[in-house]
Chain A
Amino acid sequence: MKETPLSNCERRFLLRAIEEKKRLDGRQTYDYRNIKISFGTDYGCCIVELGKTRVLGQVSCELVSPKLNRATEGILFFNLELSQMAAPAFEPGRQSDLLVKLNRLLERCLRNSKCIDTESLCVVAGEKVWQIRVDLHLLNHDGNIIDAASIAAIVALCHFRRPDVSVQGDEVTLYTLEERDPVPLSIHHMPICVSFAFFQQGTYLLVDPNEREERVMDGLLVIAMNKHREICTIQSSGGIMLLKDQVLRCSKIAGVKVAEITELIQKALANDQKVRKEGGKFGFAESIANQRITAFRMEKAPIDTSDVEEKAEEIISEAEPPSEVVSKPVLWTPGTAQIGEGIENSWGDLEDSEKEDEDEGGSDEAIILDSIKMDTGEVSNIGSQDAPIVLSDSEEEEMIILEPDKNPKKIRTQTISATQVKAPSKKPVKKRKKKRAAN
């Protein structure tokens, strides 16, 4: 889908407003939009809202073998995704320039700044290290993706706990959360990106540009910094020439902003930890703004009457007539038989019931034992595309079906496994098919 184009009048208005030091949302030049950080129930899961821009972050870990040249270092992996949910113009599955640029910037900001102690992620040197994966999803795009993403990444990393491991000789034991408390990552410092948008060849500058401001800006300067005022990454894009003074001024502003944001992050983390420790409620359900009229909750779980359903189901199973049509197997040539009418198979379209048989692979025996009656119906409706099933001994098959005894069944499964490999795996499908026919 295409983005709504920006009209000339909007462009003109925005630039004039910036000249007058006014912004659309009433902010001052150096103001950030409101930042809201909420945590999920899982460790390492957070949603960061920067005004209307929203990013979901999730950290996960995995034991892998290390890279050859870095035998004692864990691996950090970042992946920012621009979902179509965030803006109509983000096509799924396309690596746009913007996406590549943002991912690279995140890597430089977080991995290359060595904010995470990768050596502490080593379990067995040269054999097993932790791979920490940071997934970031942009949920709503209202400008300044990079700042929101970098905050989400560092918050998720700080919030994350990996399972504890112990090494005894060659053996690596992984402890579950119940056995041992999970371990937080060791984080040296928290780099945070601060974006500056430049207008009119660098005459005007705005902190934290929103989407419309980004559309009219001439250039963007991103400074990643930690609260010790150490610059981790700096990137200027858009091809504007900046003076040394401008960059220095920006870095000063960045220092102030980073200090503020770091404080906010630490408060949010401390708060979540406190709630978890006290056993209070946490997770996204708690962070839904209750006072909004667009939000609604159903507090307590209403209990459904479970006895009604039993009765209801009894009625149905009784009301349902048993299968009627049992077509006779046709013997084409000796050793070849066809069952059913040979209509075209329509199972491909009927998604609903078709997808069901994921896990029922070798479960035919149980079903046969469950309901012997079913078998009669089962055989009746095998479509031609399902292969005109070739039975080596059709008479025996028929006899067994009608026999509600247990012995022949055994024989049957044996014969099938001996002669027909295909048949057993088909069983569950057939069973369901019969039901459809019954209706």
Chain B
Amino acid sequence: MEGVMQTETKIRAESGIESGPRGPGCSLRNFACEQNLLSRPDGSASFLQGDTSVLAGVYGPAEVKVSKEIFNKATLEVTLRPKIGLPGVAEKSRERLIRNTCEAVVLGALHPRTSITVVLQVVSDAGSLLACCLNAACMALVDAGVPMRALFCGVTCALDSDGTLLLDPTAKQEKEARAVLTFALDSVERKLLMSTTKGLYSDAELQQCLAAAQAASQHVFRFYRESLQRRYSKS
């Protein structure tokens, strides 16, 4: 299994041809989002960041298994499905990160003894996968009409060997980076909902990344707003 993954990532890294040139300094890749594209789930969204793409489906508030029932709030479940092979430890860990982020913004107390299920499917991984998963999850939750305290978005920063900060890195950039940091931020106060990091960085760099992520989050939230405005343009 490991071998497959490795060849895969290798192939992908090499073929990771990015559409459009990326300017110097910090930039986000081109974003695209389609909502309500699946007929079965209560809400769905496909989110693309450059060549990274994640599909999300949300059910809820729906019936809950008795064993998982919580008497005063909704049971929130997140499943992340890899494209190749069966979900492993990496997926489980990401699931938890996403779940806790969602938990922080979803108003589960409004629907006790129900389940809110988010299913995420990796469609293609070309860097910043966790951030893309978070964005897809948020758009799908919005599409499903799950009551939320705020919107959230994911932003990935990479620090390369000479300390240059990159936002929304590609798979190649992530691989070459000294540290990769992913943050989830909420839309109301731009507060940090979740952070996960990998690699070495100093505390100043952490704050830099956080500030950059906050700046980037404004673009993401503007993107959210515009796509939702478009979506409701005919109602």
Contacts and interface: CB of A to CB of B under 8 A. Distances in A.
| Chains A and B touch (C-beta atoms under 8 A apart) | yes
B53 A42 contact: no
Interface stretch (B105-113, B146-154, B190-198): B190-198
Interface string A260-300: 00000000000000000000010111001100111111111
Contacts of B3: 62-64
Contact of B194 (A56, A308, A312, A351): A351
Given A293-B233, A366-B200, A371-B203, A54 B30 contact: no
Interface in A328-369: 351-353, 355-356, 358-360, 363, 366-367
Contacts of A294: 34-37, 231
Contact of B81 (A64, A137, A283, A306): A137
B40 A177 contact: no
Contact of A309 (B4, B117, B212): B212
Interface in A30-86: 40-43, 45, 47, 52, 54, 56, 58, 60-64, 81, 83-86
B188 interface: no
A289 B230 CA distance: 14
A309 B123 contact: no
Given A88-B40, A306-B26, A308-B215, A351 B11 contact: no
Contact of B30 (A64, A140, A298, A366): A298
B121 to A, nearest CB: 6
B77 to A, nearest CB: 9
Contacts of A2: 63
Contacts of A370: 202
Chain B: number of interface residues, binned into ranges = 35 or more
B141 to A, nearest CB: 14
Interface residues of A, number: 80
Given A83-B81, A308-B211, A301 B20 contact: yes
A284 B48 contact: yes
A178 B14 CA distance: 7
A371 B202 CA distance: 8
B199 interface: yes
Interface string A165-190: 00000000000111000100000000
Among B25, B93, B212, the most chain A Cβ lie within 10 Å of the Cβ of: B212
Interface in A1-54: 1-2, 40-43, 45, 47, 52, 54
A26 to B, nearest CB: 17
Interface in B61-101: 62-63, 79, 81, 83-85, 93, 96-97, 100
A363 to B, nearest CB: 6
Contacts of A83: 57, 79, 81, 119, 121
A60 B62 contact: no
Contact of A40 (B14, B41, B123): B123
A388 interface: no
A294 B196 CA distance: 31
Interface in A314-336: 316-317
B46 interface: yes
29 contacts: A1-B115, A40-B51, A41-B15, A41-B51, A58-B83, A60-B7, A63-B3, A85-B41, A85-B57, A85-B81, A133-B85, A284-B48, A284-B124, A285-B48, A285-B50, A288-B46, A297-B31, A298-B28, A298-B226, A301-B168, A304-B25, A304-B212, A304-B215, A304-B219, A306-B165, A309-B212, A313-B208, A351-B97, A363-B200
Interface of A: 1-2, 40-43, 45, 47, 52, 54, 56, 58, 60-64, 81, 83-88, 92, 133, 135, 137, 139-142, 163, 176-178, 182, 281, 283-285, 288-289, 292-306, 308-310, 312-313, 316-317, 351-353, 355-356, 358-360, 363, 366-367, 370-371, 374, 435
Can you list the 5 inter-chain pairs with the closest CB atoms, starting with the nearest? A296-B227, A85-B57, A309-B211, A313-B207, A295-B34
Given A84-B119, A177-B14, A359-B198, 12 more contacts: A45-B124, A56-B83, A56-B123, A58-B83, A60-B84, A284-B123, A301-B168, A302-B28, A309-B211, A312-B211, A317-B203, A355-B96
